[in-house]
Homo-oligomer: A and B are copies of this chain.
Amino acid sequence: MLVLPVKVLDIRSTEPVAMISHKTASNLKFRHTMIINIKNEFTDKSFTATPVVAEGMIEDGVIGISQYDSEWLNIKDGENVVVSIRRSPVSIDYIKTKMKGNNWSQNEIYAITNDISRRTYTSLEIASFALTSQFQGYSSQETADFAKAMAECGNQFDFQEKAFDKHSIGGIPGNKVSLLIVPIVAAAGLLIPKTSSRAITSPSGTADSMEVLADVTFSPEEMTEIAPKARGMIVWNAPLKLSPMDDIVIGVKKFLDIDPQEQMMASIVSTKIAMGIDNMVIDVPTGAGSKMENQKIALDFAHKFIGLSRRVGIDTEGMLTLGSHPLGRNIGPALEAKEALEILEGKINESVLNKSAELAGTLLEMGGLASPSNGGKVAKEVVKSGKALSKMQEIIEAQGGEKSIKSSDIQIGAYSHTIKSARNGYVYEIKNLVTKKVCAAAGTPSTKRAGLVIHVRMGDFVKKGDSLITIYSDSETKLSSAIQIATNNTPVVVEGMVLRRVKLEG
């Protein structure tokens, strides 16, 4: 164990780096496979790193760490940290037990969650945890225990009244329904403190779209002030630190391209526990190109999810929704915010409104504000009356945005290109995956004003030369690479009624 002053390095890396000299390493009794623990001298905040031992880059008796890690420790350049060889946490042994097929006890789950949340695992150990979760699965009890443990290891909130929420498992481009559901439900009188993620690979997360209209980044203290104001909010979940474990595990899961189902359910539900949610509706889009390719899988998931929610005291209903193609016309942060406002302004009345009203309506029924099966109708009336729009303006104001913003005020990418149909025929397919790729090439989600507009709907008859989609971007280069993708593999497939003639061969 050594007490060493920190040198904050202007350094970025995927793994936490701790840079020490050969001499410091030898004082630490460095061995090749050593893992070290770096701890704030005065608090129990620490993290695990695999050191880089370098000569001529860092002085003896100093440890170099990144800006991010120094902030994690709440340590400034020159202040001391305690550096020691990390002993393998006991909870690592529990992962081995699970590999052998044993179930975890509640205490074991808490220990694993706590150790990961506090950054005592290396990324290889996190991979081991994630893959073991993937292969062995969790029992219902384990899943519920994880949800509770993950919530306990993060910030928790209590709004002192019934809180409602809607969650979508995602995967469908253009799914801007939260921007409608929140104002509808809040306008009807229920509290809906919605936390949302940003997009990683999809064109826009709810937080990305909302950010076009108002701020979404709030500290836990600020959030607790905002939520009761308009009784609805749409804020970014990350700064609230609802589930530190999930934030840590997600990088490894993304990298390995795995998403253990029970772990995913536990982490969704953990954030709802943390936010003090009592009633929830979950949107499970299903269909080709969505996360749940068929209804059987989607139904099974919904049942499991509802069961899990019950176990932790959240009353949940599920809704299987059409997910084989993008929702609505606009895709991309600004374009989706624009479409949502247009609907609230009463300008359009299509599938997005229907889906939003059904989901919002379910919450209204649960909250006793609509009779059974009547929620969707009540929700639509809230939109038609203009109450949902006023509520949205209140929410925007509460989150520091321009209250009077109109859909027409929203700026879209300066460069655009419209792709037209090469033939007469029917719109046979609008592909989720290709749509996402085209948007990514155009600059979403980091470029808010990028995205695309779909001019046609499934089954429409189009003539040669009719507009199919328009791509928007802030950069000519990005636009042309998006066009390239859309040309090679069209997101909108137009076919004649006869798809193929099959003749006897030979």
Residues of chain A touching chain B, judged by Cβ–Cβ distance below 8 Å, are 9-15, 17, 22, 25, 32-34, 50-57, 96, 99, 123-125, 127-128, 131-132, 134-136, 251-252, 254-258
Contacts and interface: CB of A to CB of B under 8 A. Distances in A.
Contact of A52 (B11, B125, B128): B11
Contact of A10 (B14, B56, B252): B56
Contact of A17 (B52, B99, B124, B251): B52
Nearest to A17: B52
Nearest to A18: B13
A12 B31 CA distance: 10
A25 B13 CA distance: 11
Nearest to A57: B57
A128 B256 contact: yes
Contacts of A254: 33
A447 to B, nearest CB: 15
A51 B52 CA distance: 12
Contacts of A50: 13-15
Contacts of A54: 9-12
A35 B134 CA distance: 24
Given A14-B32, A50-B14, A52-B52, A9 B132 contact: no
17 contacts: A11-B53, A11-B54, A11-B55, A11-B57, A13-B51, A15-B15, A15-B50, A33-B251, A57-B57, A96-B258, A99-B258, A124-B255, A127-B127, A128-B256, A128-B258, A131-B132, A135-B135
Nearest to A92: B257
Contact of A257 (B96, B123, B136, B255): B96
Given A50-B15, A52-B52, A53-B13, A33 B255 contact: yes
Contact of A33 (B14, B25, B56, B132): B14
Tell me which of A17, A22, A55, A123 has the highest count of chain B C-beta atoms within 10 A of its own C-beta. Answer: A17
Given A10-B22, A57-B9, A57-B57, A134 B99 contact: yes
Contacts of A55: 9-11
Contacts of A134: 99
Given A10-B55, A99-B258, A131-B132, 13 more contacts: A11-B52, A12-B25, A13-B52, A14-B50, A99-B135, A123-B124, A124-B127, A124-B255, A125-B256, A127-B131, A128-B131, A131-B131, A132-B135
A398 to B, nearest CB: 32
Contacts of A25: 12
Shortest 6 CB-CB contacts between residues of A and residues of B: A10-B55, A135-B135, A131-B131, A12-B53, A11-B54, A13-B52
A33 B252 CA distance: 10
A24 to B, nearest CB: 12
A10 B400 CA distance: 52
Contacts of A56: 9-10
Contacts of A136: 135
B32 A12 contact: yes
Contacts of A125: 256
A208 to B, nearest CB: 17
Tell me which of A32, A51, A131, A135 has the highest count of chain B C-beta atoms within 10 A of its own C-beta. Answer: A131
A213 to B, nearest CB: 27
A89 to B, nearest CB: 13
